[in-house]
């Protein structure tokens, strides 16, 4: 993205000219400060007394100036990028200095020859104050009894320095869940600290629920996911990324209510037969998954060390979450109390327990996929594909366009695989789901729709591992593997 200097802008946005004066650039900083506080273009526009389209144009200028998206749109609104978060404290300091200047009064003791008295010099804000929680722009009149942003900042700063884990976690909860204008996302370090407290058994159950619900309601950020993932990988004893233990990490956290067959397991088995080491990991017992793995001869490992042994002998293993972390399994079990997902349902896709060189992930849409990819990069991943057309597991949807969010050697890439024209399904009557899956694998039943799904998933996995330079060659290789599967 190109960068444009504020000083050369001649347009008028929101009724304020952005001419050549360096001070004109302050308009963009003011707009960014309000956007960070409000988290909404409409509310920010109302705060500044301008129209929403004018605020949108200001946001476009801000993005171009910094070469950063600044905000990522989620189903629950906009969340700041890590770069935008890094500007928050500096913008608060700038706002504080501006307010101090506006509150200056002439001094009666210093009058120049023209009759004007110079204002007293104002000391810049102390770094320590700017480093505390930058919660909100200052209201001209605070409601009676409402603490000022500075008072809240001092209180949270005291909590942050406490050695009491419960108080530290309370600080993280109020930071992200205190309400509009008085909240901000957690930094990666704060999210790491919060999850470490939970995993070490030092959190009250009410605190755990409060944090997870607050984050889910607001929309989790990439920095928060990355911090959670870093803490989980450390506390669970996961192997470093690209440790050489496995080629591809393939999370499969499938809902018990999922009705479609797990065709991705056939792709995983196909890759293992071709010599690639594949680790699958997911929730505990699932009748459909367990039955399909019995048919395909995929063994379940009880722990990470057991999974390494199975991989060495068979090239593929399934590791249930309890074998990675009983605590994380219990935390995901809170779904039954909330009746909604939490950020942990996304974090488990970043576990990569054996430190695979590449990861094949899934996300329910483009915005969640962008957040997941950014979190993975922050957590140290360098090669991955996030498939945006499914939620629980990366399984190809060849009859829908497949947008891919990728990391290749740490570089961001994305493109769309066009959809194919769907042919009528030919599923045989009288067979159960698992019986039909076995019949397709053994070749006694032919279904072009299913075959294309399996080959596409195989091709995506090959492409993710970097075995082939493009999608066409990856798909041709996958088709060759499928046709020759009985020869292994």
Which residues, other chains included, contact 48 with Cβ-Cβ below 8 Å and sequence gap of 6+? 14, 30, 31, 34, 55
- Dihedral sign for Cα 278, 283, 289, 293, please: positive
Residues 135-153: tens digit of each pLDDT:
444 444 445 555 555 555 5
Whether 346 and 226 have beta carbons less than 8 Å apart is answered as no
C-alpha 51/C-alpha 33 separation (Å) is 17
What per-residue confidence (pLDDT) applies to 127? 39
Residues 324-383: tens digit of each pLDDT:
999 999 999 888 888 888 999 999 999 999 999 999 999 998 888 999 999 999 999 999
Q: Give the up-direction half-sphere exposure of residue 126: CA atoms within 13 A in the CB hemisphere.
A: 4
What per-residue confidence (pLDDT) applies to 252? 95
pTM of the model: 0.74
C-alpha 435/C-alpha 288 separation (Å) is 11
Q: Which residue has tokens 């399994």? A: 329
Calculate the dihedral angle through the C-alpha atoms of 116, 120, 121, 126, rounding to the nearest 10 degrees.
Answer: -150
Whether 474 and 467 have beta carbons less than 8 Å apart is answered as yes
Domain 248-487 has CATH 3.40.1030.10: yes
What per-residue confidence (pLDDT) applies to 154? 59
Q: Which residue has tokens 């190809």? A: 396
Give 403: exposed, middle or buried? Use CB within 10 Å, 0-12, 13-18, 19+.
middle
Residues of the chain with pLDDT under 50: 1-20, 113-114, 116, 118-142
**Would you list the domain boundaries of the chain?**
6-102, 151-219, 248-487
What per-residue confidence (pLDDT) applies to 100? 72
C-alpha 185/C-alpha 398 separation (Å) is 36
CA 266 to centroid of chain Cα atoms:
28
Grouping H, G, I as helix, E, B as strand and the rest as coil, residue 407 is strand
**CATH code for 6-102?**
1.10.10.10
What per-residue confidence (pLDDT) applies to 48? 86
């Amino acid at each position: 993205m190109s960068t444009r200097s504020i000083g050369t802008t001649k347009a008028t946005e929101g009724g304020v000219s952005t001419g050549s004066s360096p001070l004109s650039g302050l308009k963009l900083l003011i707009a960014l400060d309000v956007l960070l506080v409000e988290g909404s273009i409409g509310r920010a526009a109302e705060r500044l007394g301008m129209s929403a389209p004018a605020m949108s144009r200001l946001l476009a200028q801000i993005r171009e100036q910094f070469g950063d998206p600044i905000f990522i749109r989620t189903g629950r609104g906009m969340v700041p990028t890590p770069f935008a978060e890094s500007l928050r404290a500096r913008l608060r300091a700038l706002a504080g200095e501006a307010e101090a200047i506006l509150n200056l009064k002439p001094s009666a003791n210093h009058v120049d020859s023209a009759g004007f008295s110079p204002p007293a010099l104002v000391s810049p804000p102390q770094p320590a104050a700017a480093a505390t929680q930058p919660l909100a722009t200052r209201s001209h009149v605070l409601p009676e009894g409402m603490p000022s942003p500075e008072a809240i900042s001092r209180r949270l700063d005291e909590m942050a320095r406490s050695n009491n884990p419960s108080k530290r976690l309370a600080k993280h909860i109020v930071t992200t869940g205190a309400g509009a204008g008085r909240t901000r996302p957690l930094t990666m370090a704060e999210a790491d600290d919060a999850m470490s407290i939970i995993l070490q058994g030092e959190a009250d159950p009410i605190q755990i629920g409060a944090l997870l619900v607050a984050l889910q309601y607001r929309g989790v950020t990439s920095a928060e996911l990355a911090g959670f993932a870093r803490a989980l990988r450390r506390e669970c004893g996961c192997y470093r990324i690209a440790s050489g233990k496995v080629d591809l990490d393939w999370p499969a956290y499938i809902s018990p209510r999922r009705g479609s067959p797990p065709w991705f397991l056939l792709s995983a088995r196909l890759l293992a037969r071709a010599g690639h080491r594949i680790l699958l990991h997911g929730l505990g017992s699932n009748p459909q998954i367990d039955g399909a793995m019995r048919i395909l001869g995929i063994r379940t490992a009880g722990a990470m060390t057991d999974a390494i042994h199975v991989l060495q002998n068979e090239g593929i293993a399934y590791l249930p979450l309890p074998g990675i972390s009983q605590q994380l399994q219990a935390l995901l079990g809170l779904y039954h109390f909330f009746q909604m997902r939490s950020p942990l349902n996304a974090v488990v896709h970043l576990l990569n327990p054996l430190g695979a060189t590449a990861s094949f992930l899934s996300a329910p849409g483009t915005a969640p996929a962008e957040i997941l990819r950014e979190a993975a990069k922050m957590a140290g991943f360098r090669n991955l594909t996030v498939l945006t057309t499914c939620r629980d597991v990366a399984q190809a949807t060849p009859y829908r366009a497949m947008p891919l969010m990728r990391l290749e050697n740490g570089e961001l890439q994305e493109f769309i695989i066009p959809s194919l024209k769907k042919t009528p399904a030919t599923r045989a009557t009288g067979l159960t789901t698992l019986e039909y899956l076995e019949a397709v694998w053994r070749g006694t039943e032919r279904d072009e729709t299913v075959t294309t799904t399996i080959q596409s998933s195989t091709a995506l996995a090959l492409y993710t591992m970097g075995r082939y330079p493009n999608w066409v060659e990856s798909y041709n290789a996958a088709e060759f593997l499928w046709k020759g599967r009985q020869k292994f």
